[in-house]
Structure 1
Amino acid sequence: MKLPKIELEDFLGIDLAGSPKKPTGLAYIKDKVLLTQLVYEDELLLEKAVKFKYVYIDAPLSLPYGRCDIEQRNEYHFRECDLKLRELKIKFFPITLGGMRKLTERGMKLRDFLIAKDIEVYEVFPGAFYDVYHVKRKDKKAILDFFKKFLYSLGVFIENRPYTQDELDSISCLLTGILQKTGLALELKGIDGCIIIPKPLFNKP
């Protein structure tokens, strides 16, 4: 299969926090080097995000069909894409659960702002990325080792240093985006949203 040519510097991965008081992880590639940073306030986050063509966000970017807003009290807690995640036995938190409501609200605002700037915005899920590749979600060493192999295949250097979980998750968002644009990801679509997850590429580490 011939893969489409992409520019790696067009992609941004965002591990979004539900509140500006907590760190949001960003990951992107520049001059064949993987870079990460932590930001807090929306202003700095948006200032960075508008520089990219494709943005992949770890946050719910839509509401379940039948729900007008995130604070509405009704029986609709899952989107079709959430149920497809469940069918794949990938664990996740419902978007109406506790702090997920704030994350969803912030994610949707970020999505709307970026779409208005003609930027492509996608919802991704680091937990699914790790599960697909059989890497424990909180095992930082195993995650970093996997990223090194993955990025080496792209000709990209990643610094060998301690990373926060927010940084690691943002890298998984970025890599999911690259996989999508090269035809190597699954799009779990429904009438009320879409989540991008990787297709299996490698044997179990």
Structure 2
Amino acid sequence: MQDNHLGVDYGSKMAGTTAVAMVQNGELYLWQCAKDKDADLWLQGLVQELKPAVVYIDAPLTLPMVYSQDVQTPESDFFYRQADREVQAMSPMFIGGLTARAMKLRTQLAAKGTAMLETYPTQAVKLLLPHLQGYKKEPAALQAYAEALQGQLKYPLRHPAENWHQIDAILCWLSGFRHNNNKAILYGRATEGRIIV
């Protein structure tokens, strides 16, 4: 099936901030985990149900190279991967709990045959919607982003995006779409971890 991939805005475990986008029956559907529900179990269940070929997730899936090297030097970067520096993302170490959860989830899904790749919605916005202002800052901007994204999507949205988590899930899905159509930009080093936009 074409465009059989999932876009995930990955949030805190119990906060209800994890959102997902995927094409079903020619439309882009959105799901969001309920507050106080385990987002990781919810996401695993959804992946099992929807059976995407690949999951594109907004979360670090690797650590800086220094942690897998035998030799560490004073010049080694213990905080950022090259990809993080290129897109000005947070350090995987700073958001350690989320990074650990995402890396575990990747391993669990891989054991069941589903690949997981890393993306970064903030970079997708810089790249694809540079003319828009107020990303994640102004509630009034949500509508403008939703409309601009709909203009970039090959599929109609089943329901309007209700919050920034759902907008980010769409951006993750769109990065996957770009990747599947050889239009994505890959940041960082393959040996350390790529961010795909």
Give the conservation status (yes or no) of the 8 Å contact 1:62–1:192: yes
Counterparts of 1:20-39 in structure 2, within 5 Å, are: 20-39=14-33
Distance in structure 2 (CA, Å) of the matches to 1:142 and 1:183: 27
Report percent identity of matched pairs: 25
Q: Report the count of equivalent residues.
A: 176
In the TM superposition, what whole-angstrom CA distance separates every residue of 1:4-47 from its partner, at most 9, and x where no partner exists? xx612x11011111323332101111011111111242222101
Alignment match, 1:185: 184
Give the letter aligned to residue 106 of structure 2. R
Give the letter aligned to residue 31 of structure 2. Q
Q: Does 1:144 align with 2:146?
A: yes
Distance in structure 2 (CA, Å) of the matches to 1:110 and 1:102: 12
Distance in structure 1 (CA, Å) of the matches to 2:117 and 2:54: 8
Distance in structure 1 (CA, Å) of the matches to 2:158 and 2:122: 23
Alignment CA distance shift 1:160-1:30 (3 Å): closer
After the TM superposition, which segments of 4 or more aligned residues of structure 1 sit over 3 Å from their partners? 159-162
Give the conservation status (yes or no) of the 8 Å contact 2:30–2:159: no
Distance in structure 2 (CA, Å) of the matches to 1:49 and 1:25: 12
Residue 160 of structure 1: CA displacement? 5.7
Q: Does 1:63 align with 2:63?
A: yes
Alignment match, 2:174: 175
SS where residue 188 of structure 1 aligns? strand
Distance in structure 1 (CA, Å) of the matches to 2:156 and 2:91: 35
* Equivalent of 2:104 in 109, 117, 135: 109
Alignment CA distance shift 1:30-1:127 (3 Å): same
Alignment match, 1:43: 41
Q: CA RMSD in A?
A: 1.9
Q: Does 1:194 align with 2:189?
A: no
Distance in structure 2 (CA, Å) of the matches to 1:58 and 1:174: 10
Identify unmatched segments of 5+ residues in structure 2.
Answer: 69-75
Give the conservation status (yes or no) of the 8 Å contact 2:81–2:188: no
Alignment CA distance shift 1:11-1:162 (3 Å): closer
Distance in structure 1 (CA, Å) of the matches to 2:84 and 2:162: 29
Residue 159 of structure 1: CA displacement? 4.2
Give the conservation status (yes or no) of the 8 Å contact 2:84–2:90: no
In the TM superposition, what whole-angstrom CA distance separates every residue of 1:44-77 from its partner, at most 9, and x where no partner exists? 2101123111110000000011236xxxxx9500
Identify unmatched segments of 5+ residues in structure 1.
Answer: 1-5, 69-73, 86-90, 198-205
Residue 162 of structure 1: CA displacement? 4.9
Give the conservation status (yes or no) of the 8 Å contact 2:83–2:187: yes
Distance in structure 1 (CA, Å) of the matches to 2:2 and 2:168: 21
Distance in structure 2 (CA, Å) of the matches to 1:35 and 1:56: 15
